[in-house]
Amino acid sequence: MSAHARIATRFTIGDRVVVANRTTLGHCRTPWYLRGRTGTVAEVQGGYHDPERLAYHKPGLPMQVLYKVRFLQSDLWRAYQGPASDHLEADIYESWLELAP
């Protein structure tokens, strides 16, 4: 099996999504500073074994869709004074995303 697989996706490029704002114990691949923040899906990267399960020597199933999500810097950092177009992109797994209202 390849490093990533084609699996059904919940979001498409251009969708506005919110990163779940939840506390975790143990291994987590979602940066704390992005939790609760809204971004835009920039790329659908395919399905991968769940790294949060792999970290505990489990098979990493079910597979998780990985998205590249774009966040405006000014939405992340209150005191940000750079250009309005500055952004940060992060790889976020589908289980951490919800459709933005």
- Residue whose tokens read 């490029």: 13
Q: What is the pLDDT of residue 1?
A: 37
Best CA proximity match to 70, nearest among 41, 95, 98, 99: 41
Whether the full predicted model's pTM is greater than 0.85, yes or no, is: yes
- Residue whose tokens read 């098979």: 59
Mean pLDDT of 61-71: 96
Q: What is the pLDDT of residue 2?
A: 43
Instruction: Please tell me the distance from the alpha carbon of residue 35 to that of residue 4, in angstroms, as a whole number.
Output: 25
Mean pLDDT of 26-42: 92
- Give the start-to-end residue ranges of the domains of the chain: 16-99
Average pLDDT, the chain: 92
The CATH number of the domain covering residues in 16-99: 2.30.30.50
pLDDT at residue 26 greater than cutoff 80? no
Q: How far, CA to CA in Å, does 52 sit from each of 60, 69, 89? A: 7, 19, 20
